[in-house]
Structures are given as C-alpha cells and as structure tokens.
Amino acid sequence: MIHYSCDMCKRPLDTENDLRYVVKLEVYAAFDPLSSDDADDDQDCLQELHEILERVDDASCEAVSDDVYQQLRFDVCPECRQKLMKNPLGKRPVEKHGFSRN
C-alpha cells in the first residue's frame, strides 16, 4: 500500500479518508518568436515548442538541462491546497501603512 503525506505540511494522508490533491508545476524557458521579417509566416513556433516539450517527457532525453525545462509534482492536503490557491507564488503580503487623514 502506498502511503502519502502532504509535501507542504508533512501531515500523513489516509488515502481512504483524506482528500489528496496533486499539484504539477511545469517551468520552461520562454522563447520569444522571431520578428515577422525574419520568421516564416507559415511556421508555428508554439507548435514546435510543444513538440520539443513532448520529446522532453521521454526519460532517455538527457540533453535538456534544468535551466530549460523542469516538471515537478507534489501531493498536498486540503488545507495546504487552500493556502496554495490563495497565494500560489508565496509572495509576502504588502504592508499597509495607516496614515491619518489630515
């Protein structure tokens, strides 16, 4: 039997009673399309990038480094999912200064 735990709070998750969420994070280098003068109008850069990323999924493709593409997977509990959805980038809230009205 596979045992899961939340990757954020480390709480063990009972697969029969606890709801478990899977978070997938995909990070890849952004390639800006060439200017319209240089690029072939029939060329679909997004399709080419998609095909490259599909090939990256192949485990034997070691040529692509972590600087170009990374895919991560996490298991989280309902409470941590809620926190993650409220602040997915983990930014600190901006402090509001209480200025008096003069």
Q: List, in sequence order, every residue forming a beta bridge with 70; answer none if it has no partner.
A: 27
Given a cut of 70, whether residue 19 has pLDDT beyond it is yes
pLDDT recorded at residue 42: 57
- The span from the CA of 46 to the CA of 68, in Å, is 16
Mean pLDDT for all residues in the chain = 81
Write the pLDDT tens digit of every residue in 79-92: 999 999 999 998 88
Given a cut of 90, whether residue 15 has pLDDT beyond it is no
DSSP state of 4: E
Write the pLDDT tens digit of every residue in 28-42: 888 777 665 555 555
**CB within 8 Å of 57: residues ≥ 6 apart:** none
